[in-house]
Structures are given as structure tokens and as C-alpha cells.
């Protein structure tokens, strides 16, 4: 049951991304191009999304179980460290280069764009590099 709901959440998320314009890298780059001819549309995407999810999280934070009865898995870390900032800067550089972030890239891959497929493949390799590096780091610190 929860798997079906996860699918539906992904579907609604994807439709939202398409409708909003986030799956068009040209539009994303137009938003990031503040020094050029600026398209502020994506600020409205964030505004709309936060308007709804803010109240959902207010409700969710007070719950100990989900509405389906499962455990809540909300991130609890609040500290700002070098990994967070350096990682986010590297992500921002990649985002600015191609105009794709993970969600819209997957949706564009789903619509059969070969360029999105290349981006997604490289992104998965990047995540694999991290997973391997982390395992090596943990193995060396625990040894």
C-alpha cells in the first residue's frame, strides 16, 4: 500500500515539475541568468511548493507515525558543515552547466530525451563514486 502511494507521490511530483517549467533546462538557465535576461518563473515554483509543504510539515513534525501507520523518517541534522556547503556548491555548478537537477532530469529521461539519459547516467556514476569513497573512508577510520 505504501509503495503505491510512493508511486502516486512521484507521479504528482513529476506532473508538477513538467507544468512548472522545471523540466526545461533552457528555462532553468534563464532563471539562474540574473545578470542577463532574467526569467523569474522558477521563484514561483518554489513559492507554490513551499506554500503547501510548509503546513504539511507542521502537521507531520508533530506525528510519531505516518497516516498509513509507518514510522516517520525526517532528517534531524541541523548543523552546517563544510561537506554540506562544498557539496552544494559542486551541485550548483553542475545545475548551472546543464540546467538539470535530479528530479527534472529523471522526468526528461522518462520522456525519452537522449541528452537527459546521458546526464542521468553521469549523475548515477557520481553517486556511485560517493558511495564507494564513503565506504573506503569508513573502513579506514574504523580499522
Partner 1 sequence: MTIDWAHFTPWTSLAGGLLIGVAVAMFVLLNGRVAGISGIVGGLVKGLISPRSGEIGWRFAFIGGLLIAPALMRLLGTSVVPRIDASFPTLVAAGLAVGIGTSYGSGCTSGHGVCGISRLSPRSLAATAAFMLAGMATVFLWRSLA
Q: Alpha-carbon distance 39 to 32, whole Å?
A: 8
Q: Alpha-carbon distance 84 to 102, whole Å?
A: 17
User: Which residue, 40, 20, 23, is CA-closest to 31?
Assistant: 40
Min separation Cβ 142 and partner 1, Å: 14
Min separation Cβ 140 and partner 1, Å: 16
Min separation Cβ 143 and partner 1, Å: 17
How crowded is residue 100: how many other Cβ atoms within 10 Å of its Cβ? 25
Amino acid at each position: 500500500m505504501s509503495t503505491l502511494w510512493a508511486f502516486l507521490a512521484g507521479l504528482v511530483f513529476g506532473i508538477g515539475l513538467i507544468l512548472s517549467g522545471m523540466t526545461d533546462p533552457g528555462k532553468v538557465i534563464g532563471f539562474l541568468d540574473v545578470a542577463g535576461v532574467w526569467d523569474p518563473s522558477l521563484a514561483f515554483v518554489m513559492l507554490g511548493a513551499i506554500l503547501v509543504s510548509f503546513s504539511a510539515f507542521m502537521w507531520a513534525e508533530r506525528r510519531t507515525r505516518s497516516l498509513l501507520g509507518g514510522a516517520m523518517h525526517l532528517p534531524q541534522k541541523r548543523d552546517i558543515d563544510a561537506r554540506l556547503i562544498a557539496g552544494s556548491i559542486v551541485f550548483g555548478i553542475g545545475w548551472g552547466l546543464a540546467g538539470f537537477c535530479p528530479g527534472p532530469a529523471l522526468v526528461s529521461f522518462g520522456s525519452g530525451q537522449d541528452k537527459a539519459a546521458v546526464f542521468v547516467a553521469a549523475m548515477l556514476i557520481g553517486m556511485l563514486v560517493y558511495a564507494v569513497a564513503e565506504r573506503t573512508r569508513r573502513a579506514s577510520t574504523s580499522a
